[in-house]
Structure 1
Amino acid sequence: MGGLDPALEAHLAGGLTTVCHAWKISRKDGKVFAFTDHDLPLSFDGCTFRADAGLSAKAIAQTTGLSVDNTEAIGALSDASIREDEIEQGRFDSAEVVAWLVNWGDVDQRWLQFRGTIGEMRRVDGAFRAELRGLTEALNRTLGRVYQKPCTAVLGDKQCRFDLGLPGYTLTIAVDVEEGGRRFIWDGLPGFDEQFFIRGRLDVVDGPAQGLFGLIKHDRVKGKKRIIDLWEPIKGDVSRGTQVKLIAGCNKQFETCRLKFNNVLNFQGFPDLPGEDWVIAVPKSSGTNTGGSLR
């Protein structure tokens, strides 16, 4: 991860060393956590690195090729640092991790040893174990386009280009009735037809669960009630009065793109792609063969 600082190199060559490790974790929501395995706090890079978190790390495996660098961090769960409920909510997923080897006698002498992200994170007997993935992890992604009838874009992304900020496609509303963080019930959602939000999202706008979201499985009317069910429960407190944002759903079909979103020019599927039955069909003398669309 870059050349060794000459002053640190000279210190290490001296035989008697005063070095430790330091880690900084930057979550996507902007929160930053800094730890060290030294017995006193350290300050550099605009952070104070806590010494009371019980954080340690296994040896970092690094290569000069394109294989994925990885290691594992182990630490104690604490209300003041990394909390169990935040791990459960996925708030540390893909957080950036930077690790240094530091001369605690002179923190200006340090070596950037690792930079990457948090992969799998799990809880074990009052502690956490976090898999750390190096920058080459991005090379494991599957690239290329899939040729299929349904659209391959995500509603509102750079391929879809649909503006979800347009009126009539989102609704911010306070929670009325909530059951297990998975079912939400209102007296009605005026202006939105039944199943309008199916395959969409429910984002939590405020409260303890702010920033969390769930994918919508069902959007139905039962009697005078509008019921929205999620595939997985929101892993946080979404009590009555919490503001949530409902985002329209898309089933990836050509007709939906044309009629519901008027976004057919950006449709990323191939609706006229022949199916398997057509591929294995044999020639026949009957019927009209115009060379036109098979739809």
Structure 2
Amino acid sequence: MTGAEALAAHLGEGVSTTCRAWALTRRDGVVMGFTDHDRALHFEGIGFRAETGMSARAVAAGTGLAVNNTEALGALSDGAISEADIEAGRYDGAGVRAWIVNWQDVTQRAAIFAGTIGDIRRAGGAFEAELRGLTDALNVPLGRVFQKSCSAVLGDADCTFDLDTPGYVSERAAEEVTHNRVFRFADMAGFDEDWFRHGVLKVQSGAARGLSGMIKRDRVEGAARVIELWHPLGAEVLPGDALRIEAGCDKRRETCQVKFDNLLNFQGFPDIPGDDWVIADPAKSPRLDGGSRRR
């Protein structure tokens, strides 16, 4: 008998001892478990914490391709879900699974929801998170885009470039940090100016571990190197925190060929006619008999 069948038999007895439990898996690999029962539970290698102020509304389910949605409500606390982690984006797109569980025998359980976290609203020491079902992924447009620039992301399956190739990554400690957005280094020899523009800066230790930002500017100021992000990171980066700075690609064919030697995997259409050519109106041609245009 499966766990779901055992739970169904338990519910058919008339008196039940059930509660709800849900597991949250962040993109940085951290797994957290919660339950609305008054004592902690443990199954599937996850500890489900009680008395966290977490609760979930009923799942709105439908047939066909409709998206199954629900909401999670809870109080912000340092021990469970903190406002700082939400602000840093650590829960954006996190995976969520939910079960109905017999708390007297946790082998009797049934999964009732699987999906991801969507929008999160927070105020007054509490939060409200939208939970999106698995069918929400079907709303993402798929297919190739016909454009001059490359549609691949540097290092992905379409690009295939190995970012760990020597000369394309700088791993170093943070030195001078301003507003969690501007990083100044005393020296970064071996990399041309603008080498990291359009690239990614990833934090690998400290309070901002796991966070990353797109690089807006990469410039040389005297002997110093300045890396500037488009947006500040959501947590504080201190001098000494480990960073990984990856080279950037501006999606042009010339860059793919010269900087990365990866032209065979270029995913753009640089020779596609532009808008001016497509909407050009017919025009009367001048004389094409080879004679003088003078009359």
Aligned 8 A contact 1:87 1:122 in 2: no
- Per the TM alignment, residue 10 of structure 1 is displaced from its structure 2 partner at its CA by 2.9
- Per the TM alignment, residue 11 of structure 1 is displaced from its structure 2 partner at its CA by 2.6
- Per the TM alignment, residue 128 of structure 1 is displaced from its structure 2 partner at its CA by 1.7
Name the SS of the counterpart of 2:115 in structure 1.
strand
Match for 1:204: what amino acid? V
- Per the TM alignment, residue 283 of structure 1 is displaced from its structure 2 partner at its CA by 5.5
- Worse-superposed segment, 222-231 or 128-137: 222-231
Name the SS of the counterpart of 2:153 in structure 1.
coil
User: Which residue does the alignment assign to 1:260?
Assistant: 259
User: Which residue does the alignment assign to 1:293?
Assistant: none
User: Which residue does the alignment assign to 1:68?
Assistant: 67
User: Which residue does the alignment assign to 1:78?
Assistant: 77
Distance in 2 between the 1:277 and 1:226 partners? 41
User: Which residue does the alignment assign to 2:4?
Assistant: 5
Distance in 1 between the 2:286 and 2:94 partners? 62
User: 1:145-174: CA deviations, max 9, x gaps?
Assistant: 110000000111110111111111111122
User: 1:191-232: CA deviations, max 9, x gaps?
Assistant: 111111111111112222111111101111223322111001
- Worse-superposed segment, 219-228 or 264-273: 219-228
In structure 1, the gaps of 5 or more residues are 289-295
Aligned CA distance change for structure 1 residues 284 and 171 (closer, same or farther; 3 Å): farther
Match for 1:12: what amino acid? L
- Per the TM alignment, residue 4 of structure 1 is displaced from its structure 2 partner at its CA by 8.1
Distance in 2 between the 1:279 and 1:48 partners? 61
- Per the TM alignment, residue 41 of structure 1 is displaced from its structure 2 partner at its CA by 1.5
User: Which residue does the alignment assign to 1:211?
Assistant: 210
Match for 1:207: what amino acid? G
User: Which residue does the alignment assign to 1:31?
Assistant: 30
User: 1:102-125: CA deviations, max 9, x gaps?
Assistant: 122222221111111111223221
Distance in 1 between the 2:248 and 2:169 partners? 10
Match for 1:159: what amino acid? D
User: Which residue does the alignment assign to 2:147?
Assistant: 148
Distance in 2 between the 1:265 and 1:6 partners? 54
Match for 1:81: what amino acid? A
Distance in 1 between the 2:167 and 2:12 partners? 67
User: Which residue does the alignment assign to 2:225?
Assistant: 226
Match for 2:16: what amino acid? T
Match for 2:251: what amino acid? K
Match for 2:70: what amino acid? T
Matches within 5 A, 1:60-209: 60-209=59-208
Aligned 8 A contact 2:3 2:107 in 1: no
Normalised by the length of structure 2, the TM-score is 0.91
User: Which residue does the alignment assign to 1:243?
Assistant: 242
Name the SS of the counterpart of 2:8 in structure 1.
helix
Percent identity reads: 55
Aligned 8 A contact 1:118 1:130 in 2: yes
Name the SS of the counterpart of 2:277 in structure 1.
helix
User: Which residue does the alignment assign to 1:55?
Assistant: 54
- Per the TM alignment, residue 183 of structure 1 is displaced from its structure 2 partner at its CA by 0.6
Match for 1:117: what amino acid? T
User: Which residue does the alignment assign to 1:277?
Assistant: 276
Match for 1:269: what amino acid? G
- Worse-superposed segment, 202-211 or 142-151: 202-211
- Per the TM alignment, residue 13 of structure 1 is displaced from its structure 2 partner at its CA by 2.8
Name the SS of the counterpart of 1:159 in structure 2.
coil
User: Which residue does the alignment assign to 2:293?
Assistant: none
- Per the TM alignment, residue 243 of structure 1 is displaced from its structure 2 partner at its CA by 1.8
Match for 1:128: what amino acid? F
- Per the TM alignment, residue 286 of structure 1 is displaced from its structure 2 partner at its CA by 6.4
User: 1:59-95: CA deviations, max 9, x gaps?
Assistant: 1011221111110001111111112111111111222
- Per the TM alignment, residue 17 of structure 1 is displaced from its structure 2 partner at its CA by 2.1
Distance in 1 between the 2:284 and 2:177 partners? 59
In structure 2, the gaps of 5 or more residues are 289-295
Aligned CA distance change for structure 1 residues 38 and 194 (closer, same or farther; 3 Å): same
Q: What RMSD in Å do the two structures reach over aligned CA positions?
A: 1.9
Name the SS of the counterpart of 1:5 in structure 2.
helix
